[in-house]
């Protein structure tokens, strides 16, 4: 799952991002409101940690734009302000939670986990046809053969995205934005290599599932 941290204090943003990556989340960071809004509106994030006091655009402005554009990400507001009216304004616009600085990083991570697990689309086990992917252990199992294999991190993110959008055509651009991030300078062969690795692992455990390349459109997972 991908998280955006919008925080102008780079040291704080780096601490949050590092801890989230330790928890196996994919994380992007922004250090001002303009870049944060640009990334948030891409709608590739499952959750956004959003500071209120930001250069160029403040967090409440960003939150309002997020809601106006029907962005699906959960939003946790992060700010040094502790006044009740600030919290109420954030909740009124549509924030899901609110953490006041200074904070314990463990508490923030716990709140992130609560928000993501409360998401009706979140599951610890993803299934498609004869495949079962354990989100917590990164283990892929074929239910026909009962064979399992561990999936490395980047391949896991790619497989998770494909299984969450099974039988739908996903473009290369969508895959790169979601799995590698919108700032990534990518080459198509890099994606082909990861898809090849996944196809081999799926075949090794005896699954009949295929990741199909759809000419000029993208890829989809199918039987």
Of the listed ranges 85-99, 130-144, 153-167, 182-196, the one predicted with least confidence: 182-196
Predicted local distance difference test score (pLDDT) of residue 89: 84
CATH number of the domain within which 64 lies:
3.40.50.2300
Segment 34-42 mean pLDDT: 95
Same domain as 31, residue 110: yes
Q: How many domains does the chain have?
A: 2
Domain span at residue 157?
125-222
Q: How far is CA 15 from CA 44, 76, 85, 154, 210, in A?
A: 22, 16, 28, 21, 39
Q: Are residues 45 and 63 in the same domain?
A: yes
Q: Which of 94, 117, 140 is the last residue of a domain?
A: 117
Query: Has residue 6 got a pLDDT over 90?
Result: yes
Report the CATH number at residue 176: 1.10.10.10
Same-domain pairing of 130 and 110: no
Residue 10: CA atoms inside 13 Å, Cβ hemisphere, count?
Answer: 1
One domain, residues 86 and 129: no
Q: Which of 117, 139, 171 is the last residue of a domain?
A: 117
Region of 52 please: left (phi>0), alpha (psi -120 to 50) or beta.
alpha
What are 142-160's pLDDT values in tens digits? 999 999 999 998 899 899 9
- pLDDT tens readout for residues 106-145: 999 999 999 987 654 556 789 999 999 998 889 999 999 9
Q: Which among 89, 117, 145 is the end of a domain? A: 117
Q: SS3 for 177?
A: helix
DSSP 26: E
Residues 44 and 112 in one domain: yes
Is the Cα torsion angle 162, 164, 167, 173 positive or negative in sign?
Answer: negative
Q: Where are the alpha helices (DSSP H) in the chain?
A: 10-22, 33-40, 59-68, 84-93, 105-117, 153-164, 172-175, 188-204
């Amino acid at each position: 799952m991908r998280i955006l941290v919008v925080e102008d204090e780079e040291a704080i943003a780096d601490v949050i991002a590092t801890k989230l990556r330790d928890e196996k989340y994919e994380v992007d960071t922004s250090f001002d409101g303009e870049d944060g809004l640009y990334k948030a509106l891409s709608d590739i994030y499952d959750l956004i940690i959003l500071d209120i006091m930001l250069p160029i655009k403040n967090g409440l402005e960003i939150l309002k734009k997020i809601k106006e554009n029907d962005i699906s990400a959960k939003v946790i507001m992060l700010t040094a302000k502790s006044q009740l009216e600030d919290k109420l304004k954030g909740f009124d616009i549509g924030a899901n939670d609110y953490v006041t600085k200074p904070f314990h990083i463990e508490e923030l991570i716990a709140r992130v986990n609560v928000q993501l697990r409360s998401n009706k689309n979140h599951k610890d086990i993803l299934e498609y046809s004869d495949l079962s992917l354990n989100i917590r252990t990164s283990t892929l199992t074929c239910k026909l053969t009962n064979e399992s294999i561990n999936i490395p991190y980047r391949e896991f993110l790619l497989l998770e995205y494909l299984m969450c959008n099974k039988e739908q055509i996903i473009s290369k651009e969508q895959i790169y934005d979601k799995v590698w991030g919108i700032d990534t300078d990518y080459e198509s062969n890099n994606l082909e290599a990861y898809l090849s690795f996944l196809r081999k692992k799926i075949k090794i455990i005896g699954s009949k599932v295929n990741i199909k390349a759809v000419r000029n459109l993208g890829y989809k997972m199918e039987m």
